Structure 1
């Protein structure tokens, strides 16, 4: 694969990590990012390991560190982050088209804050468009459940 294209992919993944970290106020220990893009349907979502607990973005206030401020889990900042994540997906798709590369149908990113370590897995086979039962949301929820159960499948 073209080195310049790979840099665009890495930059997009790093931008997604920054979005999720900025939303949590950089207090998370780990960040898990889920991206789906298939048959015109896109989803960007994320969750965290914070203070030893796996929490979704809407649950940040329940486990925030003492003395920390409240997270805007319902209003403009969350909507902005989710929209910005979708913009990153669109930009990545444009780069894929520009370089003649296939757009991943799913990207899972795991970022460990303390060590600055990022792992990502990109899938290219259909994940939900072929199924009446699967949705991007159900795939995300399944991954959250796996991580809560102690598994880190990417």
Structure 2
């Protein structure tokens, strides 16, 4: 990241995360969603998609290679981007978001992003990052049938 600001580095990381997810889904998605967490020292990148009007997790997309090695490569790349973001936050003395939610609309190229800086799940006795992703997927799924 040879840039002059945290915001530029953040935009670059987000772009890389979306590009990797788009490549993975091989043009089949109308929307790409990315959930990221850096909470508690755990870095997790978890993309999911809207394919044929339905929410589809990365291992449940028909017509593409969803093998474990390919999924691992995608997640590893996304996690590497989160580590780049951590380095940028340190470099520019900025707080690292504990949670990032991205929504990319393929048709018009628009990107919505939300960031949280407070703990989202590690301060709860039973809530996990997976629970947050599943809740978000349910919200998206419910909105598709309205």
Smaller-chain TM-score bracket: over 0.9
| Other-structure match for 1:72 | 65
TM-score w.r.t. length of structure 1: 0.88
SS in 2 for 1:34: strand
| Other-structure match for 2:19 | 18
Q: Which of the numbers 124, 134, 139 marks the counterpart of 1:131?
A: 124
Between the aligned partners of 1:94 and 1:45, the Cα distance in structure 2 is 20
- Deviation of residue 54 (structure 1)? 1.3
State the Cα deviation string for residues 84-126 of structure 1 (Å, max 9, x = none).
Answer: 0110011100100010000000000000001000010011010
SS in 1 for 2:5: helix
SS in 2 for 1:54: strand
Between the aligned partners of 1:10 and 1:113, the Cα distance in structure 2 is 17
Q: Does 1:60 align with 2:53?
A: no
User: What RMSD, in angstroms, separates the aligned Cα atoms of the two structures?
Assistant: 1.5
Structure 2, unpaired ranges of 5+: none
Q: Which of the numbers 109, 112, 136 marks the counterpart of 2:105?
A: 112
Between the aligned partners of 1:87 and 1:26, the Cα distance in structure 2 is 23
Q: Does 1:143 align with 2:136?
A: yes
Between the aligned partners of 2:47 and 2:137, the Cα distance in structure 1 is 9
Pairs within 5 Å for 1:77-92? 77-92=70-85
- Deviation of residue 39 (structure 1)? 1.5
| Other-structure match for 1:99 | 92
SS in 2 for 1:133: coil
- Does structure 1 conserve the Cα–Cα contact (< 8 Å) formed by 2:121 and 2:127? yes
- Deviation of residue 26 (structure 1)? 2.3
Q: Does 1:36 align with 2:37?
A: yes
| Runs of 4 or more consecutive aligned structure 1 residues displaced over 6 Å after TM superposition | none
Structure 1, unpaired ranges of 5+: 62-69
For these two proteins, the number of residue pairs brought into alignment is 142
